[in-house]
Amino acid sequence: MLQDLNVREVLFLDIETVPQFHNFHDLSETQKKLWDEKTKFIRERKQIDLAESYAEAGIHAEFGKIVCISVGYFADDANELRLKSFYSHNEVDLLMAFAELLKNSYKSPFRLLCAHNGKEFDFPYICRRMLVNGIRLPELLNIAGKKPWEVPHLDTMELWKFGDYKHYTSLRLLAEIFNLPTPKDDIDGGDVRNVYYVDNDLSRIERYCRKDVSTVAHLLLAYRGISALSKKTEASAE
């Protein structure tokens, strides 16, 4: 399948998310109760209290928000990776801009979306936040009623499993074994909340998100036996 794939029809993406509020105490009383219900078993397993557990709210679409979506696509037969980011404190603005990209930009050459752990995290998270914010799902994300082989999504983590469902394999690990530049040379996912709320450095989060997209794109090429990353270039699609 991958050998027949036209990589110029693939839009690679990554998202960065944070809790909707900096601290648990900023939630309404109803939201606190709902968070309590949502995280009961997680807190028992990790032996942490309610306020501590809120640090992980960003991974739950009901309690988090997207602050950056970075995308990339190959031009010139995979010799150039073009990158673009949508990032804002206003989630509606960035989601609408991303939806517009999927619907109209570049005359819609994209037939597939690709992310690392995208089927478990990025794709459903984007869909949920779009619906919460009253944004109509673009066709590439609207998979309701589709058969598994009709869903236009690739997942570099799923491809690496080869049918093995026992464990998670990080993008950082795969970058290391395929000799790709690590996207985690500055911050990683666990730092994003503090970089956003404490450092107020959204640009730093955007740079990190872009690097993730670049790594995912070149990882897919590596799966196809194309590993000459040094011969490829990157450019902004802004």
What's the confidence (pLDDT) of residue 235? Answer: 58
Q: How many domains does the chain have?
A: 1
Closest to 80 measured CA to CA, from 187, 185, 234, 194: 234
Q: Does 96 fall in a domain?
A: yes
Range of the domain at 176: 2-20+63-236
The owner of tokens 């619906």 is 131
- If one compares 199 and 189, the residue with the highest pLDDT of the two is 199
Q: Does 32 fall in a domain?
A: no
What's the confidence (pLDDT) of residue 105? Answer: 55
Q: Does 26 fall in a domain?
A: no
Average pLDDT over residues 42-55: 91
**pTM of the model as a whole:** 0.91
Of the listed ranges 19-23, 105-109, 147-151, the one predicted with least confidence: 105-109
Q: Does 93 fall in a domain?
A: yes
Read off the pLDDT of residues 192-201 as tens digits, 9 standing for 90 and up.
999 999 999 9
Radius of gyration of the chain (CA): 18
Task: Name every residue whose Cβ is closer than 8 Å to that of residue 138 and which is 6 or more positions away in sequence.
Answer: 99, 102, 103
Token pair of 210 as six digits: 């872009």
Q: Does 141 fall in a domain?
A: yes
Q: Does 50 fall in a domain?
A: no
Task: Sheet with 80-87: list strands edge to edge.
Answer: 153-155, 112-115, 10-19, 64-75, 80-87, 233-236
Q: Does 38 fall in a domain?
A: no
What's the confidence (pLDDT) of residue 106? Answer: 47
Looking at residue 139, which CATH number applies to its domain? Answer: 3.30.420.10
Q: Does 174 fall in a domain?
A: yes
